Structure 1
């Protein structure tokens, strides 16, 4: 991840996305295909983090413990849709030279643009809230730190992120990718301990009619689909792909779009493996052991040791949760910066931006943890996902409108088959999220 040199700092033009990163990674001219591809590897890992954050763990645990391996097909479908939408994000960002927030400001009226900005900020704070709670739970599971103190300690991660950001985008990408591989390693070891039925695992990736006919299966399947696309990922990806100095010609941009799509697809494949591993572990340990109601993170951690027969399983689970929580805060910070700069043209120092976002998330977490303890944080985690459900249509629909704008994209217009699949995936994801929101409001 650190083999490609950073370009020398240079004055950045006004109005670019994430100006301290813009065109900061050199793409070697005249190099072979593989070397040029390696220059583009990195942004996809920043995006993939959103698909395996603590908010995703609950649906995977619930699906695996309740229905075994059946819902692996839903996890696979979710990841395929995510790969398509993130590839469209890369195309939009590279073809237009602007991020999704800037494009929304260009396309819509000022009141509409401001409304979209408010919703995006709310979604980012909800994401940060889920990551904060997940990190605090991991600190409690690993070190016995009380939840309230753990919530307060998570504010310190801002310093680590800002230090990495100062070192350069490649350092940031390397740290995120390293933590992702740590999570993958933890669950790979956990799968060896859980000893799943691999034939049943492979069969689980094939669609089953029971997913639609069984109301409870359908509900959890909707939860898995609903947690697929994080709204801030769409804004962030259109901005972070512009960190590569890929040139200005149509041929150079076409190659950049292809390499960026490969990068995000590889990273999202790793995220699929992690989410599958969570579900497979829950199926092999809890469902096979007759514990079909496990959905809480703390409950899963508590049951792993006696049911697997070794404390290593629970430790690996907690380490992976901590890595996911720390990782996800990076993308929330960068997305917040891109959204504020894109919609408002307002540039805040990263430290101020990070502290404001974290303060908004930490205040309700501290109050609820103080008053209600673990049960309260669980409800906050659910609330954060409901907020994301509410915001998602207001990010994914603008993305598809821009991706469908052949006049704006010009020679790099989106192929028709991608548009058809993109709108179908958008419709399905939005419908699933609205169903989750309705169910949450209905109790």
Structure 2
């Protein structure tokens, strides 16, 4: 197949899709826009597929993660590192399945749901996903506003209003091309990683304590306070809208739309997301380790707010620049998350509703919905209210996970729909186990919240 043929938009493969189903590809403006070399060294093909995984990893280290990781580390030490590891392993499996779905079928998860489920079911799934995106956006607004306040002294309400301008940042990046967008994301990820490497080196946490934290503990389930933060960590790590996002952006590569070409693309896309999510594991673990080694070790088990962490970090760590590095990483995290949430919102709206809005309009609507509660809560309750709102947003995200995970696992394990690309039975068993864990944890959280 020639390069020009390989760059053609993919055709829908699923036999269960109704004849009238719109054949418009996911994110048509960038679909199959990134060239993939057909020969040469394997490293060139791997580099061509690098990018989508890092964009997805952004959602696993957004400001919502910071709140839950700081609260978990300061209150319970290194214990919840096992939850971060577990949730990251879940994420690696689920994102690999999302990439497989997009490459094998030429549809993103939202389009696949529309083609498979009745309209009422799709409407509920769309509402759940929109709620997740708004909850994620809420965390980004709060995190960015806090970073602007810490670095430049801008009041939280003013910072929240300024975040509305990021709609134009996304528009600018998209106009420059998808590779430019990926480069922007990766550059900010490097900034975040560098900031935490310096802080962890200064904190010098005990190796035995850190390694012990990765060993699962039954206390996580039996302690209601720990369970609440643990589910918040899972909600902040395994992001429902990321499954929709990944199933779409892997299709930006101009791989051959043949059985062999798709199989090769799935291999490289899985490697890309796995490597990128290991970086996310490092960042999330670093935040919790920093909180445990600096706050918990010094008896400050009450630190649950980002502002508190900023104020105490430099004095307790003995490194003057530590607090500034912390705030810079937070700002980079907020900016990064804003880009991927915008794309996810576009994918979900177009996939479920076939409704297309200009990127800036979609972004302003979503961001506007997120800004209102932040402004109101900040006005009424101040910084403490925004901190609680931030953790709550991550629990809301976790509640939406089953609405994305269950359809995804159902699709990729069905041979009638996936054909040669259906996952093996043992992988399906692992995926269903992950879905079951998520559902059970959420039910337990609901019981504890209303009856505990």
Q: Same fold (TM over 0.5)?
A: yes
**CA distance in 1 between partners of 2:219 and 2:449 (Å):** 23
**CA distance in 2 between partners of 1:373 and 1:171 (Å):** 38
1:331 corresponds to: 340
Query: What SS does the aligned partner of 1:311 have?
Result: coil
After TM superposition, the structure 1 stretch with the greater mean CA deviation from structure 2, 111-120 or 201-210, is 201-210
Per-residue deviation, 1:251: 0.9
1:32 corresponds to: 41
Contact 2:304 2:387 survives alignment (8 Å): no
**Structure 2 residue 259 is the aligned partner of structure 1 residue 250:** yes
Structure 1's consecutive aligned runs of 4 or more residues displaced over 4 angstroms after TM superposition are 10-14, 212-216, 440-443
**Structure 2 residue 288 is the aligned partner of structure 1 residue 282:** no
Superposed counterparts of 1:349-388, under 5 Å: 349-388=358-397
Given the alignment, which residue of 151, 156, 169 partners 2:160?
A: 151
**Structure 2 residue 74 is the aligned partner of structure 1 residue 50:** no
Given the alignment, which residue of 134, 137, 142 partners 1:125?
A: 134
Contact 1:67 1:292 survives alignment (8 Å): yes
Given the alignment, which residue of 399, 410, 426 partners 2:408?
A: 399
Per-residue deviation, 1:216: 4.2
After TM superposition, the structure 1 stretch with the greater mean CA deviation from structure 2, 343-352 or 221-230, is 221-230
1:311 corresponds to: 320
TM-score (norm 2): 0.92
Per-residue deviation, 1:118: 1.8
Superposed counterparts of 1:61-100, under 5 Å: 61-100=70-109
**CA distance in 2 between partners of 1:170 and 1:437 (Å):** 42
Query: What SS does the aligned partner of 1:227 have?
Result: helix
Per-residue deviation, 1:66: 2.1
Measured against aligned partners, the alpha-carbon deviations of 1:316-336 in whole angstroms (never above 9, x if no partner) come to 111111111111111110000
Per-residue deviation, 1:241: 0.7
1:234 corresponds to: 243
Superposed counterparts of 1:174-253, under 5 Å: 174-212=183-221, 214-253=223-262
**Structure 2 residue 128 is the aligned partner of structure 1 residue 116:** no
**CA distance in 1 between partners of 2:228 and 2:378 (Å):** 28
**CA distance in 2 between partners of 1:361 and 1:215 (Å):** 28
**CA distance in 2 between partners of 1:432 and 1:293 (Å):** 25
Per-residue deviation, 1:7: 9.2
Per-residue deviation, 1:247: 0.9
Query: What SS does the aligned partner of 2:215 have?
Result: coil
Superposed counterparts of 1:14-29, under 5 Å: 14-29=23-38
**CA distance in 1 between partners of 2:428 and 2:165 (Å):** 42
Per-residue deviation, 1:174: 0.9
Per-residue deviation, 1:210: 4.2
Per-residue deviation, 1:100: 0.5
Q: Does the C-alpha gap of structure 1 residues 264 and 11 become closer, same or farther in structure 2, counting only changes over 3 Å?
A: closer
Structure 1 stretches lacking a partner, 5+ long: 1-5
Contact 1:49 1:331 survives alignment (8 Å): yes
TM-score (norm 1): 0.94
Per-residue deviation, 1:12: 5.6
Measured against aligned partners, the alpha-carbon deviations of 1:159-181 in whole angstroms (never above 9, x if no partner) come to 11111111111111111111111
**CA distance in 2 between partners of 1:90 and 1:259 (Å):** 10
**CA distance in 2 between partners of 1:172 and 1:7 (Å):** 23
Over the aligned positions, Cα root-mean-square deviation in angstroms equals: 2.0
| Equivalent residues, number | 437
Contact 2:63 2:334 survives alignment (8 Å): yes
Q: Does the C-alpha gap of structure 1 residues 188 and 7 become closer, same or farther in structure 2, counting only changes over 3 Å?
A: farther
Measured against aligned partners, the alpha-carbon deviations of 1:132-183 in whole angstroms (never above 9, x if no partner) come to 1110001111111110111111111111111111111111111111111111
Per-residue deviation, 1:68: 2.0
**CA distance in 1 between partners of 2:142 and 2:334 (Å):** 8
1:161 corresponds to: 170
**CA distance in 1 between partners of 2:245 and 2:108 (Å):** 8
1:432 corresponds to: 441
